């Protein structure tokens, strides 16, 4: 635990939606470098052009602390010039320093084609865009689908955080929307996209929406060498599995130590109290660190107990640092 502030770390999954810089300064204090991800997150989120402008501003003010990932708009997806407009937007983003591109769950869960059918991430219309990203050696950050809990009633979900989220966001609670694509269809489309683009470096965020089973994640990592995963907002699911099968979770991190990136999914906006966000962020990062580096008995939100993973230092260094530099090579160009 005493190494927390002295070890160089990356949080590869944050969202900074405020010009206020307390969060970034907290990252400096805790020795974290940040990837600020643009995307469609929730009703009321800033438009992606505003997100990019803010991210560029922060990156200029904190060039050694923060980089950003851009995203793509699907607003005009059904228009003939969508691919051209999207590639032009990406070209501009890369020129401004973007080191990743986020594709969000609205592809597969909201976007529809001209015939009213849901558009999945393996739709051929995305292929030229993904080819352009790969050509520029930029990493795709893929958020397709949702936790498997999303397709269950609230009282059958595995972790408390999911119960809270879907009770507040029923539009994404697929148990209430059986007319939407199934969980299996979401995973199949994402896997097909990976197979179609072996030259595209992909970090499938939120444990690739396979958070419920490290065995299922392992199957994809074995099959797709261009794939890594981040653990953002899904650590609770790893802890849930550690309650009943600690060795399996521990051994998963050992075997796939080169393919897992640390991320928190911390989001800051103008509604946050700067003092609170600094302290809360520090506490959240420290809780995660304790899970990975100690063997202490811990308690999750379900009131179940589990043991910290106590990973070797070499594995912790990859999880928090080396894998970020490997899978998001734009970080190393900054010579952080």
Q: Is 70 helix (H, G, I), strand (E, B) or coil?
A: strand
What are the tens digits of pLDDT across the range 94-115?
999 999 999 999 999 999 999 9
pTM: 0.96
**pLDDT > 90: percent of the chain:** 92
| pLDDT score, position 332 | 85
- How deeply is 185 buried, as exposed, middle or buried, from its count of CB atoms within 10 A (0-12, 13-18, 19+)? middle
Q: 1 lies in a domain?
A: no
Region 255-271 average pLDDT: 95
pLDDT score of 242 more than 90: yes
CA distance 185 to 257: 28
pLDDT score of 334 more than 70: no
For residues 300 and 334, which has the higher predicted lDDT (pLDDT)? 300
Q: How many other CB atoms are found less than 10 A from the CB of residue 172? A: 18
| pLDDT score, position 47 | 92
Q: What is the mean pLDDT of the chain?
A: 95
What are the tens digits of pLDDT across the range 37-69?
999 876 667 899 999 999 999 999 999 999 999
| pLDDT score, position 336 | 40
Q: What's 152's domain CATH number?
A: 3.20.20.140
Q: 278 lies in a domain?
A: yes
Q: 3 lies in a domain?
A: no
Region 193-221 average pLDDT: 98
Q: 177 lies in a domain?
A: yes
CB 271 within 8 A of CB 18: no
CA distance 209 to 186: 9
Pairing mode, if any, of strands 305-307 and 297-299?
Answer: antiparallel
* pLDDT-derived band at 244, boundaries 50, 70, 90: very high
* pLDDT-derived band at 261, boundaries 50, 70, 90: very high
pLDDT score of 31 more than 50: yes
| pLDDT score, position 169 | 87
| pLDDT score, position 206 | 98
pLDDT score of 309 more than 90: yes
CA distance 58 to 18: 10
Q: 111 lies in a domain?
A: yes
What are the tens digits of pLDDT across the range 211-235?
999 999 999 999 999 999 999 999 9
Q: Which domain holds residue 199?
A: 9-333
Q: 251 lies in a domain?
A: yes
- Residues 6 or more apart in contact with residue 67 via CB below 8 angstroms: 33, 34, 35, 36, 59, 97, 99, 328, 330, 331, 334
| pLDDT score, position 275 | 86
| pLDDT score, position 43 | 66
Candidates 181, 219, 187; CA nearest to 206 is 187
CA distance 132 to 140: 11
CB 107 within 8 A of CB 151: no
pLDDT score of 335 more than 50: no
| pLDDT score, position 300 | 83
Q: 4 lies in a domain?
A: no
What are the tens digits of pLDDT across the range 102-159?
999 999 999 999 999 999 999 999 999 999 999 999 999 999 999 999 999 999 999 9
Structural domains in the chain (count): 1
Q: 141 lies in a domain?
A: yes
């Amino acid at each position: 635990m005493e190494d927390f502030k002295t070890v160089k770390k990356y949080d590869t999954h944050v969202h900074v939606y405020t010009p206020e810089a307390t969060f970034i300064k907290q990252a400096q204090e805790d020795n974290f470098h940040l990837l600020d991800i643009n995307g469609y997150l929730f009703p009321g989120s800033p438009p992606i052009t505003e997100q990019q402008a803010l991210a560029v501003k922060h990156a200029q003010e904190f060039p050694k602390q923060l980089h950003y990932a851009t995203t793509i708009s699907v607003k005009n997806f059904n228009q003939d010039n969508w691919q051209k407009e999207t590639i032009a937007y990406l070209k501009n983003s890369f020129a401004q320093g973007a080191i990743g591109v986020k594709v969000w769950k609205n592809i597969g869960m909201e976007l529809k084609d001209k015939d009213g059918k849901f558009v999945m991430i393996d739709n051929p219309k995305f292929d030229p865009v993904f080819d352009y990203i790969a050509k520029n050696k930029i990493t795709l950050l893929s958020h397709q689908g949702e936790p498997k809990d999303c397709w269950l009633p609230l009282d059958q979900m595995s972790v408390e955080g999911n119960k809270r989220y879907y009770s507040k966001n029923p539009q994404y609670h697929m148990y209430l929307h059986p007319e939407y694509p199934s969980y299996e269809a979401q995973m199949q489309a994402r896997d097909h996209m990976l197979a179609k683009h072996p030259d595209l470096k992909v970090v499938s965020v939120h444990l690739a929406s396979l958070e419920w089973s490290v065995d299922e994640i392992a199957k994809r990592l074995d099959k797709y060498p261009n794939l890594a995963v981040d653990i953002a907002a899904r650590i609770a699911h790893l802890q849930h599995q550690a309650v009943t099968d600690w060795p399996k979770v521990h051994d998963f991190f050992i075997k796939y130590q080169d393919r897992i990136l640390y991320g928190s999914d911390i989001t800051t906006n103008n509604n946050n109290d700067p003092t609170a966000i600094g302290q809360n962020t520090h506490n959240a990062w420290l809780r995660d660190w304790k899970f990975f580096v100690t063997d202490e008995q811990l308690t999750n939100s379900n009131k179940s107990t589990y043991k910290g993973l106590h990973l070797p230092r070499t594995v912790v260094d990859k999880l928090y640092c080396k894998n970020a530099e490997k899978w998001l090579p734009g970080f190393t160009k900054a010579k952080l």
